[in-house]
Amino acid sequence: MVDFQTLDTETLRHMQQQLTLKYENFKRKNLKLNMSRGKPCPEQLDLSSGLLEGLNRSYHAEDGTDCRNYGGVEGLPEARRLFAELLGVQPDEIIVHGNSSLALMHDLIARALFFGVDGQEAPWRLQPIKFLCPSPGYDRHFAISEFFNIEMITIPLREDGPDLDLVEKLVAEDETIKGIWCIPKHSNPSGITYSDQVVTRLATMKTKASDFRIFWDNAYAWHDLTTDPVPLKNILTACKEANHPDRVYIFSSTSKITYAGAGLAMVASSVNNITRLKKQMAIQTIGPNKLNQLAHVRFFKNAQNVRLHMKKHAAIIRPKFDLVLNLLQTQLGDKKIATWSRPQGGYFISFNTMPGCAKKVVQMAADAGVELTKAGATFPYGIDPKDQNIRIAPTYPPLRELETAMELFIVCVQLVSIENILRGRERSSEECLFHPRNEAQIV
Amino acid sequence: MVDFQTLDTETLRHMQQQLTLKYENFKRKNLKLNMSRGKPCPEQLDLSSGLLEGLNRSYHAEDGTDCRNYGGVEGLPEARRLFAELLGVQPDEIIVHGNSSLALMHDLIARALFFGVDGQEAPWRLQPIKFLCPSPGYDRHFAISEFFNIEMITIPLREDGPDLDLVEKLVAEDETIKGIWCIPKHSNPSGITYSDQVVTRLATMKTKASDFRIFWDNAYAWHDLTTDPVPLKNILTACKEANHPDRVYIFSSTSKITYAGAGLAMVASSVNNITRLKKQMAIQTIGPNKLNQLAHVRFFKNAQNVRLHMKKHAAIIRPKFDLVLNLLQTQLGDKKIATWSRPQGGYFISFNTMPGCAKKVVQMAADAGVELTKAGATFPYGIDPKDQNIRIAPTYPPLRELETAMELFIVCVQLVSIENILRGRERSSEECLFHPRNEAQIV
């Protein structure tokens, strides 16, 4: 193991030949592996087996509501109570809805564009508006922004959260910045969790726009891989303390707790925001799927059981993360051609190639049958300015397939990196030929 | 039984006294009955017992999709096929979604306002737009229009559908009329079904707006009360034949087939519209609750079983309709103070008082503990210009409660009508006093 940059060209060319042989071998295997999305694996889904069947033909909620019938746009009382406890809010500060937290976000933004956020401020659609996008981030957040023509400003995501110096500066100056996308815990894809200080600063910062909103997608709130997870400071409490009680919408779901294709989603916020939202949602629908809510509450009974359930998830997926991290460490550890995250939870490993290499790596892997998340997807408009971030989603494939996929991936990373280094050297020597007197450029 | 208008004032006052005693008796019963919404009754919901439990821990769709996991925004292939057959469209002309067809309508209108309907026409939000509202109609359609600031134009609803002479005239002249709300079968609340000619004219009519759309809420597509139901002409086919293939969005749901609180909703349209919609919905959500779709398809297996299932519904609710209609006929039949519909399906009886009486009747019934749909709700902006339409929803209460509620209702109708007649007579005699020479006004 050695720093690729220090190897001479001949050695690199030799390695390139060997790696190309390996790559061709992979190609001949006709792989068809998909690692593009953060999907739970079947064993994880099996943890919730019997959830629906457990209704056992008894369909009434604790307040007597027949969950098979119309009504109750805010969700069942017992569902609101359960997820309020888990999210650290009050039951009247939450709406439990259908199976898609993304839909809750999408629809909230649509309503803000039409009507503004509080009945006093102007509708967002009346002027071009902007959202801050800590990146790398979640492509579906960025897709919603782009869909609604909201200009996205990329904010560097650091180890403790978004670059708050930059965020504070921008929101203080620009009245058209109306929101920020945040995945505050085990962030997608970087895995970082916002520090207390970052949460406090987000809650307290002065914004030029009085209708600025934080879209707090706490998708991985309970999705820890370690026994001693980093706690996340309660942003709703922080916002109340900072006298900005309506600033934040918190989203979460059971997509990666029970069923990604048949779970529950929720939004939590101030009573003020929730009351308004409930009224608006009552125009859209008579109510969510309440039987699914009842089934979930019956299945879990209490918050503690949800936490225990999440430990079972961790037991299934931790070995997958370990495998990936071990392979990366063993095979790329000292080569200085890549860096990657070592997440304490969530669904992703964020991998950074040398600048300008991510797209090629993803393409090479795809050509050999392993589909990764599109390079660039983790940045606004799908454009990674340095073309180096790749999101690795290790949860879905079985360990054996994951190993194969990662072996291939690591070959691709090395091949593209070597090519990149060699091209850099060629360019340097060409520059010497064309600018023989510019000695500073001679390597 | 006799025409109230022909009775002398003394007789009417005597009847008024007797009816008032009856009303006071009802009041003493402390009733608490709710007939405000068209809800299925528990026995109807029981028809689908075991639907979810029937999944039996087997969660894969016919194409191998694990319904517990992410994906498939357009719905399961087998669900699309089943409801396509029932709606008379092709499987690629339908999206099967979550449990709310109202949400599909709401969201489609929101998208049309933002982006227009086809990527070529301008977004609807760029100018004030209007919708035609055949009335009496569904309050939740009108609520969506009002929510989005869409001006509503009331169109009289006749026995064979909306007044097409008026509709054709308006849409031919006014480019800002972008849509029409239709409940084409067993209409809510009037119970009428659109004639073939009306369907054809809606499909073929010339519209000034090239992006005019029909919102065809076929909520009661299979909800017949008789064995020989009036067929409804296929509007998608009619639109294709008229060379307006993209003109119609058809909506339906299983809310009144399986579970109102946990069913499936669907939208059908041209492949062109469905393709566009699918792309837009993919921004909003990764997919609908697919386990519920799988459970539905497993429960019904085929379209014929859905039709048989609907006969069981009819067997439960037909006696309720019969009870209401019999009571109305027996007790109000010859009094000439009201008219009502005799529906062949759907969920409502549309009742018309003398002009100016509906609000008072609903208020009186409420004061005695029977909640009816708010008077006016069946018209745009909640304003019934003649204040005479009341929607009776007989399906939910048990027969015995329904009988009590209707007895009370009929007392209220008579009381308010007598009061109305007597007030009319007083006014006439006052007019005689004030205008003694105007003989034409003397009754």
Query: Is there a contact between A19 and A328 (Cβ–Cβ < 8 Å)?
Result: no
Q: What is the pLDDT of residues A186-220, one digit of tens each?
A: 999 999 999 999 999 999 999 999 999 999 999 99
CA torsion sign for A94, A96, A101, A107 is negative
Do B217 and B275 lie in one domain? The reply is: yes
Asked, for residue B121, whether it belongs to a domain, the answer is yes
Do A35 and A86 lie in one domain? The reply is: no
| Model pLDDT, residue A196 | 98
Asked, for residue B434, whether it belongs to a domain, the answer is no
Query: Is there a contact between B416 and B358 (Cβ–Cβ < 8 Å)?
Result: no
> Using a CB-CB distance cutoff of 8 angstroms, which residues of chain A are in contact with residue B52?
52-53, 55, 291, 295
Kindly tell me if the per-residue pLDDT of A156 is higher than 50: yes
| Model pLDDT, residue A434 | 58
Q: What is the pLDDT of residues A291-318, one digit of tens each?
A: 999 999 999 999 999 999 999 999 999 9
| Model pLDDT, residue B437 | 47
Do A121 and A256 lie in one domain? The reply is: yes
> Using a CB-CB distance cutoff of 8 angstroms, which residues of chain B are in contact with residue A292?
262, 289, 292
Asked, for residue A56, whether it belongs to a domain, the answer is no
* Distance from C-alpha of A148 to C-alpha of A129, rounded to nearest angstrom: 10
* Distance from C-alpha of A95 to C-alpha of A152, rounded to nearest angstrom: 28
| Model pLDDT, residue A310 | 97
| Model pLDDT, residue B230 | 86
Q: Do the chains contact at A52 and B144, CB–CB below 8 Å?
A: no
Asked, for residue A55, whether it belongs to a domain, the answer is no
B437: which residues sit within 8 A by CB, 6+ positions away?
Answer: none
Do B199 and B318 lie in one domain? The reply is: no
Comparing alpha-carbon positions, the chain B residue that sits nearest to A294 is B262
Provide the pairing of β-strand B338-340 with B94-96: unpaired
Q: Which of the 8 DSSP states describes residue B92?
A: G
How does residue A1 score in pLDDT terms, banded at 50, 70 and 90?
low
Do B207 and B294 lie in one domain? The reply is: yes
Percent of chain A scoring above 70 in pLDDT: 97
Do B225 and B294 lie in one domain? The reply is: yes
- The enclosing domain of B40 has a CATH number of 3.90.1150.10
Q: Which of A56, A280, A285 sits opposite B103 (nearest CB)?
A: A285
H or E stretch at B17: helix B9-28
The CA radius of gyration of chain A, in Å to the nearest whole number, is: 24
* Distance from C-alpha of A326 to C-alpha of B272, rounded to nearest angstrom: 49
Choose, out of B217, B289, B371, the residue to mutate when testing the contact with A (most A CBs < 10 Å): B289
Query: Which of B301, B333, B355 is a domain's end point?
Result: B301
Sheet strands side by side (includes B338-340):
B338-340, B349-353, B389-392
Count A/B contacts: CB-CB distance under 8 Å: 152
Structural domains in chain B (count): 2
In SS3 terms, chain A reads as: CCCHHHCCHHHHHHHHHHHHHHHHHHHHCCCCEEECCCCCCHHHHHCCCCCCHHHCCCCECCCCCECCCCCCCCCCHHHHHHHHHHHCCCHHHEEECCCCHHHHHHHHHHHHHHHCCCCCCCCHHHCCCEEEEEECCCHHHHHHHHHCCCEEEEEEEECCEECHHHHHHHHHHCCCEEEEEECCCCCCCCCCCCCHHHHHHHHHCCCCCCCCEEEEECCCCCCECCCCCCCCCCHHHHHHHCCCCCCEEEEEECCCCCCCCCCCEEEECCHHHHHHHHHHHHHHCCCCCHHHHHHHHHHHCCHHHHHHHHHHHHHHHHHHHHHHHHHHHHHHCCCCCEEECCCCECCCEEEEECCCCHHHHHHHHHHCCEEECCCCCCCHHHCCCCCCEEEECCCCCCHHHHHHHHHHHHHHHHHHHHHHHHHHHHHHHHHHHHCCCCHHHCC
Q: Do the chains contact at B49 and A66, CB–CB below 8 Å?
A: no
Comparing alpha-carbon positions, the chain A residue that sits nearest to B59 is A49
Asked, for residue B419, whether it belongs to a domain, the answer is yes
Query: Is there a contact between B283 and B251 (Cβ–Cβ < 8 Å)?
Result: no
User: What pTM did the predictor assign?
Assistant: 0.95
Comparing alpha-carbon positions, the chain B residue that sits nearest to A102 is B285
- The enclosing domain of A89 has a CATH number of 3.40.640.10
Choose, out of B63, B99, B102, B276, the residue to mutate when testing the contact with A (most A CBs < 10 Å): B99
Find the mean pLDDT for residues A395-423. 96
Q: Do the chains contact at B280 and A147, CB–CB below 8 Å?
A: yes
**Residue B107: C-alpha distances to residues A271, B114, B120, B435 (Å):** 25, 11, 19, 58
Do B323 and B225 lie in one domain? The reply is: no
| Model pLDDT, residue B130 | 98
| Model pLDDT, residue A231 | 93
* Distance from C-alpha of A68 to C-alpha of B47, rounded to nearest angstrom: 11
Do B154 and B204 lie in one domain? The reply is: yes
Of the CA atoms within 13 Å of residue B140, those in its CB half-sphere come to: 23
Do A135 and A214 lie in one domain? The reply is: yes
Do B222 and B249 lie in one domain? The reply is: yes
Query: Is there a contact between B389 and B375 (Cβ–Cβ < 8 Å)?
Result: yes
Q: Which of A274, A295, A279, A259 is nearest to A78 (CA)?
A: A295
| Shortest Cα–Cα distance, B275 to chain A (Å) | 16
Do A120 and A219 lie in one domain? The reply is: yes
Query: Which of B272, B301, B330 is a domain's end point?
Result: B301
Percent of chain A scoring above 90 in pLDDT: 91
Q: Do the chains contact at B288 and A260, CB–CB below 8 Å?
A: no
Asked, for residue A173, whether it belongs to a domain, the answer is yes
Residues of chain B with pLDDT under 50: 436-443
- H-helix segments, B50-138: 77-87, 101-115
Do A282 and A413 lie in one domain? The reply is: no
Q: Which of A69, A102, A143 sits opposite B39 (nearest CB)?
A: A69
| Model pLDDT, residue A435 | 54
| Shortest Cα–Cα distance, B71 to chain A (Å) | 7
Asked, for residue B442, whether it belongs to a domain, the answer is no
Query: Which of A254, A276, A301 is a domain's end point?
Result: A301
Which structural domain range is residue A353 located in?
4-44+316-434
Asked, for residue A442, whether it belongs to a domain, the answer is no
Find the mean pLDDT for residues A80-90. 98
Q: What is the pLDDT of residues A254-297, one digit of tens each?
A: 999 999 999 999 999 999 999 999 999 999 999 999 999 999 99
